[in-house]
Structure 1
Amino acid sequence: MADEVQALTKAFSGLGGLGVDEPTMVAALANWRRQPEKRSGFRKSFPGLFKQHGVIERCEDEYMLHLAAEFSRFKNLMVLWAMHPWERDARLAHHVLHQAHPAAIVVEVACTRSAEELLGARKAYMALFHHSLEEDVAYRAKDKPYCSLLVGLVSAYRYEGPKVSDDTAKAEAKALGAAVKSAGGGKLVENEEVVRILTTRSKPHLVQTFKYYKELHGKYIEEDLGSEEALREAVQCLATPERYFSQVMAAALREGADHHGKEALARVAVTRSDVDMDGIRAAYQEQFGAKLEDAVAGSAHGHFKDALVSLIVGK
């Protein structure tokens, strides 16, 4: 009985907050019929969910809220998966802008989608919310130092061909270096030249520019961005999205990850499964020395885990 109680407690707890184990719960419904003593033992062994209250063990309201979040993870993943990608991106951006979340998701949408996909997300945003995405970004981020960068990123319609001017890329690598040098204690993200380069140039052009930056200045540009998170995220999403997303997944799987971090598992798995998931898996293996699908399987639970692994490995 002790093993069964322990298994059910584990199923309910979600451990690190990455889903509950629905199949184990369902099995308990069948196996524990007419055995109230088992349920009593379960309640007594799980003080996180139940507290003694007179002659009964009462469910704790705070833990009930936790359970609601755990049960909803699989539902939320499936809804995201079923949506049209343009609507999905529009809703992700709207949620961030209206819930005072970090700007990273808006940066992701703006920088890792194709020009047509970003245009589609802007059209969907307008249809759904009767404001333009650019308008809402400008208003919601008006007091943030990264406002101009964010508006420029979501407004972009980048050239997607392979042609790159080496001379221009070298010149802009020098310009970025000069901006870093002159920033001093100021915000580099407010530098007009930096914002212009990141919000207008094609992704192949930026990859070449950042390559020349390393050759000229002896550092990867991310190393010179200090604590300017929005700027660093934009550079990574534009130039090395697979590496960026592997880091997002690793942060989501880390013990002690917050609610926003955990939400990233479903978001990245759904939005990248048909795009560059094989590259993300390779980047994760290179950076963290483990398979992404194994890390997810070891941390997530139940149907949520199964759905994540399916999206990650494509089976």
Structure 2
Amino acid sequence: MATLKVPASVPSPAEDAEQLHKAFSGWGTNEALIIKILAHRNALQRKLIHETYAATYGEDLLKALDKELSSDFERAVLLWTPVPAERDAYLANEATKMLTANKAVLMEIACTRSSHDLFMVRQAYHARYKKSLEEDIAHHTSGDFRKLLVPLVSSFRYEGDEVNMTLAKSEAKHLHEKISEKCCSDDEIIRISTTRSKAQLNATLNHYNNQYGNAINKDLKTDPKDEYLSLLRATIKCLTYPEKYFAKTLRLAINKMGTDEWALTRVVTTRAEVDMQRIKEEYQRRNSIPLDRAIAGDTSGDYEKILLALIGHGDC
């Protein structure tokens, strides 16, 4: 359920590339034209524009945009323009760096992309950084975080709907026993979380809830200051109700003392072509305000315009 508005009749990649080149020429940059084109093209269309621009003008489009733009608007455009696998590879690499380290971003990418998409991210990471994503995560994390994150990003889950109810019951029992014993980094908890299909995991967690009277994430909330438990809860939420996870991430980004623009930009650019409609519905249900109003109240200028366009509130 994407929100991206693409016009019924889309100009050719050559025409779009020419218009973007014009937007960079002369006095000042034509930001409105950049938004009009890039914020209303899907991933394949943006890929063709990118390739056509390089072939026509001998310059990488992202480098041209980087030279012309600045601040939060620049980051939004530079994250939005590449194909999803390359965007995710960049975000994952950034999330391992000391100053921008963010384990939640790595977990997000691992848990909310399809098995095929996650495989494409690993390929793009390999091509761009000459290392594997697993290698970098193993190098930059330790202890329970490494134990959870490395298999998460290595996963290739079954995507179908088939469920083994006997297995769901036995794994729910094991999860409950280990959580009751406060052994939340138990190998089996990690194995179930990182290898089971989303349908199987949902069946296990539903049985857990029915059998033991509590949602698993409630039982994992024993110590709100425990960062590993927080990441494990977020993992389960991302695997089972991604729209709830992203709606909460957006609320925290917007409601902070000062906006967390990095989180806001990341969620909008990575989910606009995926499930933004569901995220918007969940956001309004939880916060009694439409997401577009919340964004408009907290951002301004071209940055506000591109975010609103990507969540479906801009003219084609």
Which TM bucket (shorter chain)?
0.7 to 0.9
The 3-state SS of whatever aligns with 1:313 is: coil
> How far has the Cα of 1:314 moved from its partner?
5.6
The 3-state SS of whatever aligns with 2:144 is: coil
- The residue aligned with 1:131 is 131
* 2:72–2:261 contact (8 Å) kept in structure 1: no
* 2:283–2:291 contact (8 Å) kept in structure 1: yes
- The residue aligned with 2:273 is 274
Give distance in 2, aligned partners of 1:126 and 1:80.
19
Given candidates 199, 206, 211, the residue that maps to 1:204 is: 199
Give distance in 1, aligned partners of 2:180 and 2:238.
23
Change in Cα spacing, 1:194 to 1:90, as seen in structure 2 (3 Å) is same
Query: Where in structure 2 are the equivalents of 1:1-315 lying within 5 Å?
Result: 71-99=70-98, 101-142=101-142, 144-183=143-182, 188=184, 190-226=185-221, 227=224, 228-257=229-258, 261-313=260-312, 315=314
Which protein has greater RCO, CA pairs closer than 8 Å, 6+ apart? 2
> How far has the Cα of 1:99 moved from its partner?
2.7
5+ long unaligned stretches in structure 1: 1-25, 27-69
CA distances 1:158-191 after superposition (whole Å, capped 9, x unpaired) = 00011111111121111111111111xx5x1x21
Report the AA paired with residue 186 of structure 2: N
5+ long unaligned stretches in structure 2: 1-27, 29-68
Change in Cα spacing, 1:314 to 1:297, as seen in structure 2 (3 Å) is closer
Identical pairs, percent? 38
> How far has the Cα of 1:218 moved from its partner?
1.1
CA distances 1:71-93 after superposition (whole Å, capped 9, x unpaired) = 41001100111111111101101
The structure with the larger Rg is 1
CA distances 1:41-78 after superposition (whole Å, capped 9, x unpaired) = xxxxxxxxxxxxxxxxxxxxxxxxxxxxx941001100
Question: TM-score w.r.t. structure 1 length?
Answer: 0.73
Give distance in 2, aligned partners of 1:162 and 1:257.
42
Give distance in 1, aligned partners of 2:166 and 2:189.
17
> How far has the Cα of 1:249 moved from its partner?
0.4
CA distances 1:235-272 after superposition (whole Å, capped 9, x unpaired) = 111011000000000011013157xx321111111110
Give distance in 2, aligned partners of 1:166 and 1:286.
32
* 1:93–1:106 contact (8 Å) kept in structure 2: yes
Give distance in 2, aligned partners of 1:249 and 1:99.
24
Give distance in 2, aligned partners of 1:138 and 1:255.
31
* 2:163–2:200 contact (8 Å) kept in structure 1: yes
CA distances 1:119-154 after superposition (whole Å, capped 9, x unpaired) = 000001111111100111111112x42211100100
* 2:125–2:132 contact (8 Å) kept in structure 1: yes
* 1:273–1:314 contact (8 Å) kept in structure 2: no
CA distances 1:8-55 after superposition (whole Å, capped 9, x unpaired) = xxxxxxxxxxxxxxxxxx9xxxxxxxxxxxxxxxxxxxxxxxxxxxxx
Report the AA paired with residue 77 of structure 1: A
> How far has the Cα of 1:230 moved from its partner?
1.1
Give distance in 2, aligned partners of 1:169 and 1:278.
31
Change in Cα spacing, 1:257 to 1:229, as seen in structure 2 (3 Å) is farther
The 3-state SS of whatever aligns with 1:145 is: helix
Give distance in 2, aligned partners of 1:137 and 1:286.
35
* 2:109–2:118 contact (8 Å) kept in structure 1: yes
When the two chains are superposed, the root-mean-square deviation of aligned CA atoms in Å is 1.6
Give distance in 2, aligned partners of 1:212 and 1:286.
26
Give distance in 2, aligned partners of 1:141 and 1:241.
24
